[in-house]
Structure 1
């Protein structure tokens, strides 16, 4: 069964929206100050810097220029309380790479659809903006993996559901997901397998925005939501009313990562990969993800141009 809903039903009421807004203003779980005093930092690596081929020319001397597309909510990348500074997990990763390269970080806010042209035309040294590694993108760009691309199952805190790891775990459940997205394709395939196996079908509920989905879970209209793990981790940290019961890689049944994007064959990708692996070893990488509730998305090792998501 498939339900499409554009708004929270009237039974939830206007007061619920007001309450949610007040919670958001009063109990923001992350540091959104422009100063970012708790941002992990590291030291430059002379050997790594020396490994960068001379053919690679940085946009600006002494600076690592990174294109980034700030979203509306944490934790990946958003605007700080000054409405100008970009903060989040991706800016923290960018800072660690800049530190390893011995350079000042310059984050350049860009619309998502504009980063490819900006990178190719030489406006940025790299793009760090939650870009998933795909086989198609690898034809045009190099990647240095830095995070797993995960989708997460989240439930209300008092839900009897404790774990969702495979198709049979969602049989008969009311699942909220995003229409036209990778997560929908995964749910549809899981449901197909369940029906073929004689299990109860899933009731899929489509909602238009994160707030509506969160309220639907908390009000009991749905059993679980399956969406971008980063967004749901933020909602869980913000409200304290939902919890994770499982994650699925965006490349299911294979795996795919999120990567730092650099110009194809420019020569910088291996240095970026090495910088990330240094932060993995020393622990600053883990601190960067932990402060944004993204520890579940850690990788064990950064790789240059790892296997990417194929077209469905």
Structure 2
């Protein structure tokens, strides 16, 4: 495995090129005003689907928990207090469609299940994947694919569509992750088929990792698509070469999560589908460079990832 000393030797030569790439990078709006945030009209059919006995945390409000930990999912704007991101944008579309004012409540990942179950929040919209275990306590309205992505140097023409395409390549992945397990399964599959093994590389330092891509010491980096897509849009140094489900070979989907039996899921699903049809949904994802994760239709409580 390349050492930090080896790769830092490339830093001086790469600096000029990296600065040039950043100058060309797509601008991401981190202002508290969010003038580009997409808004929706009331969806009377969605409102009619709210159960008669449904109870909201606050009158006239759609209260949503969000783990404001990382963009593009959710974080703080340049004023350090306004919550913005792809998930708040989806929450805004749903709130508008249901005719309610949106309130985002910053919440730790560990705290959202109790908050939703107790009625403190109407929903959590914070990159929650549908699983069969979670479906025992929560209802789901899907709005995004849970994808992993291969990212390469922007000038690299590599395309990755299936496991055979990574045979013999130098792939960076984080140790102990879901994507590492999938990549190693792909490698085993390829070797058994007589193909070249993957050269799996691990780095603890992002500076060194991206220098490896820039210098050609690595061909691609495999990680959560949303995070790497946002970084690509910010810095302009990498591009998507291919992606696949985070639950490979099973489909994994991200969903608005509500309390089981709260009577909100069908209304939220309808609201999302209206936004898919009228184009607002696509615009909301595009703002955060997440178009690759768009779904064609929202579903209520679809099959989730199986229990381990």
Q: 1:201 to 1:281 in 2, by over 3 A?
A: same
Q: 1:192 to 1:302 in 2, by over 3 A?
A: same
1:205 aligned residue: 201
1:147 aligned residue: 144
| TM-score, L = length of structure 1 | 0.91
Gaps of 5+ in 2: none
Q: 1:5 to 1:45 in 2, by over 3 A?
A: farther
C-alpha displacement of 1:51: 2.1
**How many angstroms apart in 1 are the aligned matches of 2:165 and 2:27?**
30
Which of 186, 193, 213 in structure 2 is aligned with 1:190?
A: 186
Which of 92, 96, 102 in structure 1 is aligned with 2:93?
A: 96
| TM-score, L = length of structure 2 | 0.92
RMSD: 2.5
Q: 1:18 to 1:67 in 2, by over 3 A?
A: farther
Is the CA contact (8 Å cut-off) linking 1:6 and 1:208 kept in structure 2?
Answer: no
C-alpha displacement of 1:7: 9.4
Q: 1:107 to 1:17 in 2, by over 3 A?
A: farther
Equivalent residue of 1:113, what SS? Answer: coil
Q: 1:106 to 1:7 in 2, by over 3 A?
A: farther
The answer to whether structure 1 residue 38 and structure 2 residue 36 are counterparts is: yes
**How many angstroms apart in 2 are the aligned matches of 1:196 and 1:279?**
45
C-alpha displacement of 1:225: 0.6
Equivalent residue of 1:192, what SS? Answer: helix
C-alpha displacement of 1:30: 0.8
The answer to whether structure 1 residue 113 and structure 2 residue 113 are counterparts is: no
The answer to whether structure 1 residue 48 and structure 2 residue 46 are counterparts is: yes
**How many angstroms apart in 2 are the aligned matches of 1:111 and 1:25?**
34
Which of 279, 290, 295 in structure 2 is aligned with 1:294?
A: 290
C-alpha displacement of 1:309: 1.3
Q: Output aligned runs, 1:131-280, within 5 Å.
A: 131-161=128-158, 163-208=159-204, 210-280=206-276
The Cα offsets for residues 201-242 of structure 1, whole Å up to 9 and x where unpaired, read as 111112235554333312322110111111111122122221
Q: Bigger shift: 215-224 or 34-43?
A: 215-224
Is the CA contact (8 Å cut-off) linking 1:77 and 1:91 kept in structure 2?
Answer: yes
Q: 1:295 to 1:203 in 2, by over 3 A?
A: same
Is the CA contact (8 Å cut-off) linking 1:7 and 1:207 kept in structure 2?
Answer: no
